[in-house]
Amino acid sequence: MTEQALCQKAIDMLDMAYVPYSHFPVGAALLCRDGTVFTGCNIENAGYTPTNCAERTALFKAVSEGVTEFTDIAIVGSLDGKKNTLVTGPCGVCRQALYEFCGPRLRVLMAKSENDYIETTLGDLLPYGFGPANLE
Ligand code: THU
């Protein structure tokens, strides 16, 4: 799977986002080590705090299906009517949730479009991250 194709899968998820409160759709596509992809969108809630981010939707879909090894995640966010115009970095909670399974080497593609994205790593986004190894 190319980086462009992974970004496109995240972009496709913008249409699935449930965002009646923020009107800020986010899409994510998580590439597993075996080559499969789990996608996610943000799902908001009238109680606000139960809102689930796109990245964690994708992660929890994968883990709940028994998949726990990942190499890349693509993330895209947009404002209503201005699709794919923003680079969205994962929130702090999602960085921590991803760190549990992916560690610092996960590649993170923060996309504006299929061909326009910033590439970084989870280690850069979450330095000195706290993970399973800290509890060994
Ligand atoms: N959001 C995500 O889905 N991922 C992020 O990493 C940033 C924030 C969502 C949560 C909420 O539904 C909306 O964007 C505005 O915060």
pLDDT at 87: 82
**Residue 78 beta carbon below 6 angstroms from any ligand 1 atom:** no
Q: Do 57 and 40 form a contact (C-beta atoms < 8 A)?
A: yes
Q: Which residue has the higher pLDDT, 73 or 82?
A: 73
Per residue in 28-51, pLDDT tens? 999 999 999 999 999 999 999 999
pLDDT, position 82: 61
Which residue's CA lies nearest to atom 1 of ligand 1?
Answer: 53
Cα dihedral across residues 2, 90, 76, 40: positive or negative: positive
| Shortest-distance Cα residue to atom 3 of ligand 1 | 53
| Dihedral angle over CA of 132, 28, 22, 123, nearest 10 | 40
Mean pLDDT of the chain: 94
- Residue 18 is classified by DSSP as B
Distance 55 CA to ligand 1 centre (A): 9
Residues with a known catalytic role? 55
pLDDT tens-digit profile of 49-64?
999 999 999 999 999 9
48 C-alpha to ligand 1 centroid (Å)? 11
pLDDT surpasses 80 at 79: no
CA–centroid distance, residue 113 to ligand 1 (Å): 17
| Single-letter amino acid code for the residue at 105 | R
- The DSSP letter of residue 35 is S
- Amino acid 80: pLDDT: 62
